[in-house]
């Protein structure tokens, strides 16, 4: 939706109290009747009432039961002079869901009616003040053919349902003449046998949370008993054949409900919770008590879904459920506040997944996403602040509140937020104020995180004074200019620090000298082993006292702020941290820092045509992690994985995809060769023929085994290929089977082709598995893959073009192919997609946005494509915006 900027926000002239909707769902058209009680926000006001509406046919409009004045244009229905005081407004509208392909509003697909109203889809259903600060109580009556649409769902509680005897009076007279039997048959053929259901949602909500589903669905049912002992019926609705695949989603939902009670004291507030999973839906949506998902993020079975899918389902089911409080009970005042609900809810689902699995690994995964997607955007022409719509960085901002306040302080802030704002539509400032006031906290200029775009760069240097026994950390920070924001203020950066002694243990910390005062950091005379420094200025110094030897600092523990930290640590310090840091995240980080440095220096060797050699200390460092029995296996799998090619390209003056790819391939092969025995035993020791279970130890075991085989296969050794083939053929679950396939597919040749063909023939009946097969091939680094992807685009089984495009972008070496073939391919796709779905097309065109980071030749080729896109006829606004900003 169009951003409403803070300064432009105007509160509405009218509010709605109750909304009674009636839908007569038909095959040609649907009639929507909406009865709204309206009241002015200011007593005696005589402003016009302006309603939004798109693609609607107005049948009638009545004010307090009478026809009156109105004005209609293609986007609005205006009542120039509504009655003063409270009144009722009844509007009858005709819509054609069967013709709606936008996946917004009410649409029909695969035989079912379904809605998507966030952000501004409700205006495609009926005329309404389509803005989130209009919160009302809804009822919804649905009437439809009983055999075609046996299931009728909406928000809230089902208060009435039954068969319809419509037209019975008319046909009643026939009853006497033709007898009962005849009339029943007659009615059945004419009416198709209709039924109805009435839903009532007792909670006020904005219209973007309205939902309706009607169709042939079946459910898996369960019960959750809340902390206060209430029984909640849980139902997951899918097409009949999918019901067996909903067990994990049900498990995830119950786990999420329990977790929100345990961690935030938030209990579910109705007696019924419905989930619908259908194939034609964009992502997932938190409609009040009727969450709707794309099947992909709900359905799972061990044979068809991988550990990553299982984990994603847990996260998404949790995410939408958590919105019940953060988004639904307390919602956004306007769409400029989107990160209020999304940032907070992303943070909550991350915490949920952390508690259900490994916290460090979850953190590593999220930080990698931040670095791979958010930071490049922050540094490009599309940079924008957290507000309005950065989800991922919005979650980091929420995490910083928690870092600053601690678990209890954060909970106090959440409690106050709900106490103050339950049932309201609010702003990011309201959340900030609740956190601050509940804790009497001084948050300095923390609010800048919402408004300043770009990734802050923090530099530091350290020095130890043996005589004074002090250790000083000097920081400086810089926020790079971004489009529209040339000059930046220093940010408030919470920096979690620990100091390691020479044996690798955390030193006790007592006090820090800062800004002319000595502050104690020890709590109640108890020593502490880490502390959160508050960096607020462009340059500042913190001096730790009573430090008995030169420490090695472990900074930004757990990645306590979304910044780029430029370390002055030597390689030997980093190896030390890799081996000893008590903060597992920073152990991983030290390994990544070393790997990045190593990769960059090898890239430079490669560019100078020097022969490549691998630093033996690096091999040794990774070996000790690989063989450390005390470490979590999933952590090991992460810690021995090299930074992605995009990350390295990002650090270069001129990005060189060929050199980076060559170097990463070289290191992987070299590690596989030098650590072959270790990788082999890791692989063998972590195989298991046990039945698949989704729990952390098993997932971790599979992750480590599959990382080992992925390394080993790079040796292109026939024995290893045999091992992978055996794994592929004997796997009892998708995680292992797919990992073996992916390993085999790394090396071009007949085995690759055969196994890919075999996988397809095994799974062609399951489009979700087939999507994985497409994505795997699309992201392949094998030389000249552009042609393969082009051919796959015409494959009859391709249902999701996006899995192909998304995958292709994941292979920088092919996307940025020297001959421009990757750019040309993507350019063509953008234009094709733009005709069907401009949003997806604009997401795709953003792949070009950082074209200036490459060499002259690539710049020329990418620019050609952007210009070609810009010159196309009938280009959507979405694509135009991104393409033009990219060229600017």
Catalytic (active-site) positions? 320
Whole-angstrom distance, CA of residue 398 vs CA of residue 407: 12
Closer of 362 and 580 to Zn ion (Cβ): 362
Asked if 120 and 50 touch (Cβ cutoff 8 Å), the reply is no
Strand 552-555 to 284-285 pairing? unpaired
Q: Binding to Zn ion (CB under 5 A): which residues in 716-735? A: none
User: Which CB sits closer to ligand DPP, 30 or 353?
Assistant: 353
Residue among 124 and 323 whose Cβ is closer to ligand DPP: 323
Our finding on whether 406 is near ligand DPP (CB under 6 A) is no
**Listed residue (388, 391, 393, 345) closest to 367, CA to CA:** 393
118 or 650, CB closer to ligand DPP? 118
Cβ(454)–Cβ(387) below 8 Å: no
Nearer to ligand DPP, 344 or 383 (CB): 344
Q: How far is the CB of 325 from Zn ion (least distance, A)?
A: 12
Q: From 283-291, 399-407, 468-476, 531-539, give the range in contact with ligand DPP by CB under 6 A.
A: 283-291
CB closer to ligand DPP out of 54 and 118: 118
3-state DSSP: the chain helix, strand, coil percent, rounded to 5? 45, 20, 35
For residue 646 the two structure tokens come to 């995009």
Q: Mention every residue, 6+ apart, whose C-beta is less than 8 A from residue 794.
A: none
Q: Which tokens go with 271?
A: 């007696």
Nearer to ligand DPP, 116 or 139 (CB): 116
Give the range of 315-323, 567-575, 688-696, 742-750 binding ligand DPP by CB under 6 A. 315-323
Measured from the Cβ of residue 520, the count of other Cβ atoms closer than 10 Å reads 12
Q: Residues touching ligand DPP: how many (CB under 6 A)?
A: 8
Which of ligand DPP, Zn ion, none is residue 257 near (CB under 5 to 8 Å by kind)? Answer: none
| By the rule CB under 6 A, 285 interacts with ligand DPP | yes
Q: Kindly state the smallest distance separating residue 345's Cβ from Zn ion, in Å.
A: 5
Residue with the two structure tokens 């990418």 = 862
Alpha carbon distance, N-terminus to C-terminus of the chain: 23
Nearer to ligand DPP, 132 or 810 (CB): 132
Across-strand partners of 113? 108, 214
Could you tell which of Zn ion, ligand DPP, none binds residue 131, using a CB distance below 5 to 8 A set by kind?
none
List, in sequence order, every residue forming a beta bridge with 115; answer none if it has no partner: 106
Distance CA 49, CA 635 (A): 58
- Report, in Å, the least distance between residue 107 CB and ligand DPP: 16
If contact means CB under 5 to 8 A according to the sort of partner, which of Zn ion, ligand DPP, none does residue 194 touch?
none
Q: What's the closest the beta carbon of residue 27 comes to ligand DPP, in angstroms? A: 29
Least separation in angstroms between residue 832's CB and ligand DPP is 24
What, of Zn ion, ligand DPP, none, does residue 284 touch, CB below 5 to 8 Å by kind?
ligand DPP
Q: Which is nearer to ligand DPP, 211 or 622 (CB)?
A: 211
**Contacts (CB under 6 A) with ligand DPP, residues 462-521:** none
- Per-residue contact string for residues 84-123; x = within reach of ligand DPP by CB under 6 A: ----------------------------------x-----
What DSSP assignment string belongs to 632-659? -HHHHHHHTSPPPHHHHHHTSSSB-HHH
Task: Name the binder of 283 from ligand DPP, Zn ion, none, CB < 5-8 A by kind.
Answer: ligand DPP
Q: How far apart are CA 192 and CA 189, in angstroms?
A: 5
Give the nearest distance from C-beta 120 to Zn ion in angstroms: 16
> By C-beta, is 343 or 381 nearer to Zn ion?
343
Stretch that binds ligand DPP, among 98-106, 244-252, 282-290, 406-414 (CB under 6 A): 282-290
Q: Distance between CA atoms of 811 and 709, rounded to whole angstroms?
A: 20
Report, in Å, the least distance between residue 342 CB and Zn ion.
Answer: 5
CA distance 156 to 288: 7
**Rounded Cα distance, 426 and 323, in Å:** 15
Q: What x-and-dash track marks residues 320-359 binding ligand DPP by CB under 6 A? A: x--x------------------------------------
HSE, side-chain direction, 13 A CA sphere, residue 836 = 9
- Cα dihedral across residues 390, 392, 395, 396: positive or negative: negative
Name the segment binding ligand DPP (CB under 6 A); options: 43-51, 235-243, 317-325, 655-663.
Answer: 317-325
Interaction between residue 583 and ligand DPP (CB under 6 A): no
Of 210-218, 281-289, 449-457, 656-664, the window that binds ligand DPP (rule: CB under 6 A) is 281-289
Site track for Zn ion across 344-383, x = CB under 5 A:
-x--------------------------------------
With CA atoms as reference, report the closest residue to 632 among 363, 274, 306, 250: 363
Coil, helix or strand for 95?
Answer: strand
Q: Which bin fits 234, alpha (ψ -120 to 50), beta or left (φ > 0)? A: beta
Rounded distance between C-alpha atoms, residue 621 and residue 617, angstroms: 6
CB of 720 to Zn ion, least distance (A): 43
Residue 265 interacts with, from ligand DPP, Zn ion, none (CB under 5-8 Å by kind): none
Among 83, 204, 206, smallest CA distance to 133 is for 206
Residue 283 as a binder of ligand DPP (CB under 6 A): the answer is yes
Closest C-alpha to 726, from 683, 766, 764 = 683
What the block records as the tokens of 564 is 């780029």
118 binds, among ligand DPP, Zn ion, none (CB under 5 to 8 A by kind): ligand DPP
Binding segment (CB under 6 A) for ligand DPP, from list 106-114, 278-286, 559-567, 585-593: 278-286
Q: If you write DSSP's letter for every residue of 546-592 in order, what string do you get?
A: S--S--EEEESTT--SS-EEE----HHHHHHHHHH-SSHHHHHHHHH
589 binds, among ligand DPP, Zn ion, none (CB under 5 to 8 A by kind): none
Give yes or no for residue 284 binding ligand DPP (CB under 6 A). yes
**CB of 21: closest distance to ligand DPP in angstroms?**
21
Tell me if 211 contacts ligand DPP by CB under 6 A: no
The DSSP code for 505 is: P
Options 2-10, 318-326, 689-697, 865-873: segment touching ligand DPP (CB under 6 A): 318-326
Give the integer Cα–Cα distance in Å for 320 and 149: 25
Q: Give whole-number Cα distances, 842 to 380, 691, 826, 852, in Å.
A: 15, 43, 12, 19
- Give the residue carrying structure tokens 């980080």: 589
Q: Please tell me whether residue 179 binds ligand DPP under the rule CB under 6 A.
A: no
How many residues form the binding site for Zn ion (CB under 5 A)?
A: 2
Using the minimum distance from each CB to ligand DPP, give the nearer residue, 320 or 506.
320
Stretch that binds ligand DPP, among 184-192, 280-288, 484-492, 706-714 (CB under 6 A): 280-288
Contact indicator for 386, 343 with CB cutoff of 8 Å: yes
Indicate whether 297 belongs to the interface with ligand DPP (CB under 6 A).
no
What is the DSSP secondary structure assignment for residue 447, as one 8-state letter?
T
Of 318-347, which residues contact Zn ion (CB under 5 A)?
342, 345
Residue with tokens 């002079």: 81
**Closest to ligand DPP by CB, 298 or 479:** 298
Half-sphere exposure for 714 (CA within 13 Å, toward CB):
20
Residue 435 tokens read as 């956190």
Q: Does 286 bind ligand DPP (CB under 6 A)?
A: yes
CB nearer to Zn ion: pick between 24 and 339 = 339
591 touches 642 (CB < 8 A): no
Applying CB under 5 A, the residues found at the interface with Zn ion are 342, 345
Footprint of ligand DPP (CB under 6 A): 118, 283-286, 319-320, 323
């Amino acid at each position: 939706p169009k951003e409403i900027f803070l300064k432009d926000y105007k509160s509405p002239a009218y509010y709605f109290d109750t909304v009674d909707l009636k839908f007569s769902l038909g095959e040609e058209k649907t009639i929507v009747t909406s009865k709204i009680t309206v009241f002015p926000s200011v007593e005696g006001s005589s402003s016009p009432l302006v309603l939004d509406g798109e693609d609607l046919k107005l049948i009638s409009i009545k004010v307090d039961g009478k026809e009156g004045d109105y004005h209609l244009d293609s986007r609005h229905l205006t009542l120039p002079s509504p009655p003063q005081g409270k009144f009722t407004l009844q509007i009858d509208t005709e819509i054609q869901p069967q013709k709606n392909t936008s996946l917004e509003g009410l649409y029909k697909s695969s035989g079912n009616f379904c809605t998507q109203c966030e952000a501004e889809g409700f205006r495609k259903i009926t005329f309404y003040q389509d803005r989130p600060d209009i919160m009302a109580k809804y009822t919804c009556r649905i009437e439809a053919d009983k055999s075609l649409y046996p299931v009728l769902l909406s928000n809230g509680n089902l208060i009435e349902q039954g068969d319809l005897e419509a037209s019975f009076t008319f046909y009643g007279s026939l009853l006497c003449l033709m007898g009962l039997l005849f009339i029943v048959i007659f009615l059945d053929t004419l009416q198709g046998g209709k039924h109805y259901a009435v839903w009532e949602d007792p909670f006020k909500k904005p219209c973007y949370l309205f939902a309706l589903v009607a169709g042939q669905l079946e459910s898996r049912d369960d019960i959750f008993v809340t902390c206060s002992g209430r029984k909640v019926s849980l139902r997951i609705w899918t097409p009949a054949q999918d019901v067996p695949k909903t067990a994990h989603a049900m498990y995830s939902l119950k786990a999420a409900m329990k977790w929100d009670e345990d961690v935030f004291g938030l209990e579910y507030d109705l007696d019924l919770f419905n989930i619908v999973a259908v194939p034609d839906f964009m992502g997932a949506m938190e409609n009040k008590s009727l969450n709707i998902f794309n099947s992909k993020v709900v359905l799972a079975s061990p044979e068809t879904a991988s550990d990553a899918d299982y984990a994603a389902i847990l996260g998404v089911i949790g995410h939408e459920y958590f919105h019940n409080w953060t988004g639904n009970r307390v919602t956004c005042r306007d769409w400029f506040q989107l990160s209020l609900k999304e940032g907070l809810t992303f943070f909550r689902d991350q915490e949920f997944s952390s508690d259900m699995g490994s916290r460090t690994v979850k953190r590593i995964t999220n930080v990698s996403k931040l670095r791979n997607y958010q930071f490049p955007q922050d540094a490009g022409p599309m940079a924008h602040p957290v507000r309005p719509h950065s989800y991922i960085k919005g979650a980091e901002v929420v995490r910083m509140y928690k870092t600053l306040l601690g678990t209890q302080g954060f909970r106090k802030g959440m409690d106050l937020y709900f106490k103050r704002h339950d049932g309201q539509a609010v702003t990011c400032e309201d959340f900030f104020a609740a956190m601050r006031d509940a804790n009497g906290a001084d948050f300095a200029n923390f609010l800048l995180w919402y408004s300043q775009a770009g990734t802050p760069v923090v530099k530091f240097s350290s020095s130890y004074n043996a005589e004074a026994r002090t250790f000083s950390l000097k920081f400086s920070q810089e926020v790079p200019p971004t489009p529209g924001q040339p000059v930046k203020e220093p940010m408030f950066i919470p920096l979690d620090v620990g100091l390691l002694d020479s044996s690798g243990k955390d030193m006790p910390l007592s006090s820090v000298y800062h800004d002319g005062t000595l502050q104690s950091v020890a709590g109640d005379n108890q020593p502490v082993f880490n502390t959160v420094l508050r960096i607020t200025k462009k340059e500042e110094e913190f001096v730790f006292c009573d430090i008995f030897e030169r420490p090695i600092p472990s900074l930004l523990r757990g990645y306590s702020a979304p910044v780029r930290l430029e370390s002055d640590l030597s390689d030997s310090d980093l190896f030390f941290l890799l081996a000893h840091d008590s903060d597992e995240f920073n152990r991983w980080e030290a390994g990544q820092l070393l790997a990045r440095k190593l990769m960059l220096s090898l890239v430079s060797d490669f560019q100078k045509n020097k022969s490549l050699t691998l630093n033996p200390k690096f091999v040794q460092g990774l070996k000790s992690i690989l063989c450390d029995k005390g470490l979590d296996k999933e952590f090991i799998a992460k810690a021995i994985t090299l930074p992605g090619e995009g990350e390295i390209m990002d650090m270069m003056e001129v990005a060189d995809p060929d050199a980076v790819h060559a170097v990463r391939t070289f290191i992987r092969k070299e590690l596989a060769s030098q650590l072959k025995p270790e990788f082999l035993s890791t692989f063998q020791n972590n195989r298991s023929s046990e039945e698949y279970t989704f729990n952390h130890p098993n997932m971790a075991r599979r992750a480590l085994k599959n990382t080992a085989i992925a390394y080993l296969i790079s040796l292109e050794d026939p024995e290893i290929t045999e091992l992978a083939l055996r794994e592929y053929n004997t796997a009892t679950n998708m995680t292992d089977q797919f990992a073996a396939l992916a390993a085999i597919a790394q090396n071009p040749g007949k085995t690759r082709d055969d196994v890919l063909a075999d996988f397809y023939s095994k799974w062609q009946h399951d489009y979700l598995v087939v999507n994985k097969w497409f994505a795997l091939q699309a992201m392949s680094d094998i030389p000249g893959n552009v042609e393969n992807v082009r051919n796959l685009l015409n494959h009859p089984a391709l249902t999701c073009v996006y899995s192909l495009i998304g995958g292709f972008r994941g292979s920088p070496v092919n996307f940025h192919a020297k001959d421009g073939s990757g750019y040309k391919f993507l350019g063509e796709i953008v234009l094709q997609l733009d005709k069907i779905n401009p949003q997806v097309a604009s997401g795709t065109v953003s792949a070009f946005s950082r074209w200036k980071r490459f060499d002259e030749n690539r710049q020329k080729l990418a620019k050609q494509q952007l210009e070609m896109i810009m010159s196309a006829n009938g280009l959507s606004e979405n694509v135009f915006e991104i393409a033009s900003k990219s060229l600017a």
